[in-house]
């Protein structure tokens, strides 16, 4: 099994690269999706969040009011640390469970947005970084996601720098290119991942 950490700044196109890798046969473990699953209604994760932050973080239907929780934790480093101490172990445990269910010769891609920020590179056999220029990130966030420029810049500033991500990269995928070129690059990267997983003879 080859364990790959996939990361990239907001707006870099990491999700598109993940989709292309899955098309080629990768097993995808999406940390963001798991982080939502572990605090769904009825889960121990949600109960722990309510214990820590109070019932006001619940929406009317009993689920987590993410904007409300976000406004509480992102303005307070201690509260953010508390939330992370609840959610991160649950995400890790579920990720390990999913990885354990994969085939022995699988290429398992862990989609981890904050891989660089949280110093997680050593957990993986190699790290794939989807890279674009900051101007491209800004343009995509404003033009494609409808984010205001100020909000986009703030989100980018809250993440690791481009240099910090590139420093931990074993393989860089340049996504300042048309989709057809990205697909070719991912095809080449996939061949390398298969080789490293010991599947090149197939």
Residues 15-65 have pLDDT tens digits of 999 999 999 999 999 999 999 999 999 999 999 999 999 999 999 889 999
Q: How confident is the model at residue 82 (pLDDT cuts 50, 70, 90)?
A: very high
State residue 199's pLDDT score.
Answer: 66
Mean pLDDT across the stretch 169-192? 96
The stretches of 74-124 forming alpha helices (DSSP H) are 77-100
CB atoms within 10 A of CB 99: 15
Q: Could you tell me the domains of the chain? A: 1-26+106-196 (3.40.50.300), 40-104 (3.40.50.300)
Residue 5 β-bridge partners: 110, 127
Q: How confident is the model at residue 201 (pLDDT cuts 50, 70, 90)?
A: very low
6 contacts 130 by C-beta, under 8 angstroms: yes
């Amino acid at each position: 099994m080859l364990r790959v950490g996939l990361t990239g700044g907001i707006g870099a196109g990491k999700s598109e690269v993940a989709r292309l890798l899955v098309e080629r046969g990768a097993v995808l473990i999406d940390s963001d999706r798991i982080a939502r699953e572990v605090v769904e209604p009825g889960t121990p994760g949600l109960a722990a969040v309510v214990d820590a932050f109070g019932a006001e973080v619940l929406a009317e239907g009993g689920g987590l009011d993410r904007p409300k929780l976000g406004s509480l934790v992102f303005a307070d480093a201690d509260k953010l640390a508390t939330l992370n101490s609840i959610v991160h172990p649950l995400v890790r445990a579920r990720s390990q469970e999913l990885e354990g269910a994969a085939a022995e010769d699988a290429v398992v891609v862990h989609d981890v947005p904050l891989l660089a920020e949280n110093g997680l590179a050593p957990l993986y056999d190699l790290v794939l970084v989807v890279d674009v220029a900051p101007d491209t990130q800004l343009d995509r966030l404003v033009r494609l996601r409808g984010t205001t420029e100020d909000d986009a810049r703030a989100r980018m500033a809250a993440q690791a720098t481009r240099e910090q991500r590139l420093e931990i990269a074993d393989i860089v995928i340049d996504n300042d290119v048309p989709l057809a070129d990205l697909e070719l690059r991912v095809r080449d990267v996939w061949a390398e991942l298969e080789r490293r997983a010991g599947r090149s003879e197939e």
